[in-house]
Amino acid sequence: MATILHINSSVRNAGSISRQLTAEFLSKWQAIQPADVIVERDLAANPVPHLTEQMMGAFFTPAEQRSPEQAQTVQLSDDLVAELLSADTIVIGAPMYNFSVSSTLKAWIDHVARAGLTFKYTETGPVGMVQGKKVYIFTSRGGVYSQGPAKSMDFHETYLRAVLGFIGLTDITFIHTEGLAMGDAAVADALTQTRQAIGELVAA
């Protein structure tokens, strides 16, 4: 039995392509692996707060030296880190907003990228501590950014690969659904390709 952490970061509920596709992927997954446990983290329904000076101060204060207020401040971040570390597989729905991730997903990343918990500094440089996990990231994009003239504006996949890799998550598969603002035919084609990819991933 494995644990899958499912993170949705779309600000939309109704009509969200990324939510629809992660749901389809996990439905097919559970049909094959019914004993696996799926932990849901909806960053729109329950947003993670953006970092504050007080949070940063609490993060960098040793646990045994934190005040009661600091301990309370850091509790959510500690819970998010524990949730990440407990998962065997991470599935992220990550629509593109203004060439990158949503602010809610960025906030989640800021809470789980914690020195001493998910990465550490060594004499030879930083080392990610979140090892041995598979990540699937389902994106939705109005244009086409994986290739062609707009590729230079893709700070979406590049950022996620870099920051997740920094904490040790390097086994990442991106499933891009692109061209969603380019007409009905483009949408139909993109969804067909993504659903084919889902079938292949689940069957692998």
Distance CA 93, CA 156 (A): 12
16 belongs to an annotated ligand binding site: yes
**Would you state the pLDDT for residue 203?**
86
Domains identified in the chain and CATH numbers:
3-203 (3.40.50.360)
**Would you state the pLDDT for residue 168?**
98
**Would you state the pLDDT for residue 204?**
78
100 belongs to an annotated ligand binding site: no
103 belongs to an annotated ligand binding site: no
148 belongs to an annotated ligand binding site: no
10 belongs to an annotated ligand binding site: yes
98 belongs to an annotated ligand binding site: yes
**Would you state the pLDDT for residue 105?**
98
**Would you state the pLDDT for residue 113?**
98
The CA–CA distances, whole Å, from 139 to 53, 76, 194 equal 31, 26, 10
97 belongs to an annotated ligand binding site: yes
Low-confidence ranges of the chain (pLDDT < 70): none
102 belongs to an annotated ligand binding site: no
93 belongs to an annotated ligand binding site: no
182 belongs to an annotated ligand binding site: no
Nearest Cα to Cα of residue 120 among 131, 129, 112, 133: 129
The CA–CA distances, whole Å, from 140 to 143, 146, 182 equal 9, 11, 13
